[in-house]
A and B are shown apart, each in its own frame.
Chain A
Amino acid sequence: MLEIKNISKIYGEGTAKVVALNNVSLLVNEGDFVAIMGPSGSGKSTLLNIVGGLDHISGGEVILDGNRIDSLDEDALVDIRRGKIAYVFQQYHLIPSLTALENVLLPLTFCGANNKDQKALGILKRVGLEKRAEHKPSQLSGGEQQRVAIARALVNDPSLILADEPTGNMDRKTGKEILALFDQLNKEGRSIIMVTHDPEIAGYAKEVVVLQDGQIVDKTNQEGGNEC
């Protein structure tokens, strides 16, 4: 469903030039769970942002469901974010003035869909937070906030979920709960691309891609070898 062909990303110009991605190619099929690993500054997050159309590339192609998305204008990218792709961030990125329920409703609000409280509540229930629906992010723990963020990602029923260090701010136990949730979503048929620097977390993925200095240095297929 997603094909990345020879992409590169260069920040700055001249002597200040930084090559974040150098000729990276990757194929993600329907139902895949890909972990992107690598040390900080290896280009993991940049790659994820490019896949989601949040950042522009300097060269190459990004093809989603047969269509190039790297050269799309803003309006077309908005359509992709409203249906096919959803994000889960390390910092959760919830809107602080909105309750858990309202944060989940937010993508629907931007789509123009109102009165979807029942749908959003149902999704909150799925992530085990129906009792915290009226709490503001500041009243929730890190794990709970990330569950809200996952619920928000699910509300538009995306086929591809992009997760940037989703457990990076959590203790191991909470992190495992979140990963179990991702695993479950993957088993439902959603494709997941997850950035992490923790090999143990990468162990949940079917395929692990290792980035270093903007290049893919290793690809491992772990299908069936899940130690979970």
Chain B
Amino acid sequence: MRLYQVVVKDIMRRKKRVLYASLGVVIGITTIIAVLTIALAGQTNIYGQLEKYGANLIVMPAIGDIDIGLGGLSLGTLAVGDNYISEDKLPEIRQISDGRIREALNIEDQGDIATIAPKLYMNTKVNGTSVIVVGVDLQEERLLKTWWKVSQGKYLEASDEALVGAIAAELLGFNVGDRITLNGGEITIAGILEETGSNEDYQVFVPLETAQKAFDKEGLVSSIDIRALCNACPTSEIASAINENMLGVRAVAVKQIAETEMGMLEKVSGFLFALAAITLAVGCFGVVNTMTTSVHERIKDIGIMRAVGASRNQIMKIFFYEAIIVGVAGGLLGYIAGTLLAYIVGPLIFGGVAVTYVPQYFLPSLALATLIAVIASVYPAFRASRIKVADSFRSL
């Protein structure tokens, strides 16, 4: 029989007491896990929104006057009116983008790498209602908008076709096959998109050349979305390279916008985390309390053990083993409770964001809980080791 077995057998007899002792740890770990899980869900949510936007970089004319927004995220401004980018600049942008990516990933492939999707935004009236018509490059746009699903009809193919956002279609009463007049030119509704939850729902997409012809903007685009399909792609570098080398355009890496958002989130998480740490510290005192009670309750057992040959260190060890068990139990329960709490509270904070449990937090929560329980047991264990055998029997 080993010492830890003695402790385990004793704890099996006092399950409720041990559970009670671990309560302080449970509350602390619960708060920390809940905060971390919710913060991670928020972060994933922001990245998810950015991912949905599709582009890693946006190139705009150097003068902008309209906000482009995505949900609550501001993605910078976009110029309409007289400010356009010439299509001639597309090859140079491609050269800069692909060049930087090749450099960063050390590849030599001479084919196109980044998706470069030019767009022409036009505010116009169809059947008397204002809509935003977006001229897009058919192939590149399809690569960019991976989440697009055509709910009715088909994707854009011919130059006289249009793809309509779900809400625009509803507002304007469009159906697949309808013919509409666009600034004089006739086009057919080829398909209607599924709702995406972004401002695409309000837009009408037509091939770029069609839009350019209809609005007399040959060779011009409003903005260019660039998507580099890799995590390590140097989007900030591409943005600065474009800004340095090309006149009249301004490139913004979406990551930079994301970082601003993340900065806010981190500040809030930091504050919540500090609160959680205080809870844990308070829980620690709870453990000191219950462990001290446990020492008092077991004065007689401690006396017996000392009388049959236990050293002071062995008595301390007994309480530290108990602390480890209290910590592991507290960490386990705290992880479960914290995750559940995150599932309940997370959607309230981030407006319906999907919270998922984080398995990577499991072992750290056990380790932290154990550490706290052991630290909290130092003083009670020391007290226990100083108990005199004769006194322990006399107190009965």
Contact = CB atoms under 8 A, between A and B. Distances in A.
Nearest to A111: B309
Interface string A86-103: 110101011111100010
Interface stretch (A74-82, A181-189, A195-203): A74-82
Interface string A51-95: 010110000000000000000001100100110001101010111
Contacts of B311: 74-75, 78, 110
A41 to B, nearest CB: 13
B272 interface: no
A49 interface: yes
30 contacts: A54-B307, A55-B388, A74-B311, A78-B310, A78-B311, A78-B312, A81-B307, A81-B309, A82-B309, A87-B307, A87-B308, A91-B396, A93-B300, A93-B304, A93-B393, A95-B6, A95-B10, A95-B304, A95-B305, A97-B10, A97-B12, A102-B9, A109-B1, A109-B3, A109-B6, A110-B305, A110-B310, A110-B311, A110-B314, A114-B2
Interface of A: 49, 52, 54-55, 74-75, 78, 81-82, 86-87, 89, 91, 93-98, 102, 105-111, 114, 152, 156
A151 to B, nearest CB: 12
Given A74-B312, A81-B308, A110-B311, A96 B13 contact: yes
Given A89-B307, A98-B6, A109-B2, 13 more contacts: A54-B390, A74-B312, A87-B307, A91-B393, A97-B9, A97-B10, A97-B12, A97-B13, A102-B9, A105-B1, A106-B305, A110-B314, A111-B309
A15 B303 CA distance: 29
A68 B227 CA distance: 87
Interface of B is mostly: helix
Contacts of A52: 307
Interface in B105-139: none
A110 B306 CA distance: 9
Contacts of B65: none
B244 interface: no
Nearest to A114: B2
Interface of B: 1-3, 6, 9-10, 12-13, 300-301, 303-312, 314, 388-390, 393, 396
A86 B307 CA distance: 8
Nearest to B4: A109
A188 to B, nearest CB: 20
Contacts of B314: 110
A203 B3 CA distance: 40
**3 closest residue pairs by CB, A with B:** A55-B390, A82-B309, A110-B309
B369 to A, nearest CB: 24
A87 to B, nearest CB: 5
A106 B301 contact: no
Nearest to B385: A74
A78 B301 contact: no
A128 B12 CA distance: 29
B301 A95 contact: yes
B344 to A, nearest CB: 39
B46 to A, nearest CB: 53
Contacts of B309: 78, 81-82, 107, 110-111, 156
A49 B390 contact: yes
B308 A110 contact: yes
A111 B393 CA distance: 23
A106 B10 contact: no
A43 B219 CA distance: 112
A105 B10 CA distance: 15
Nearest to A115: B1
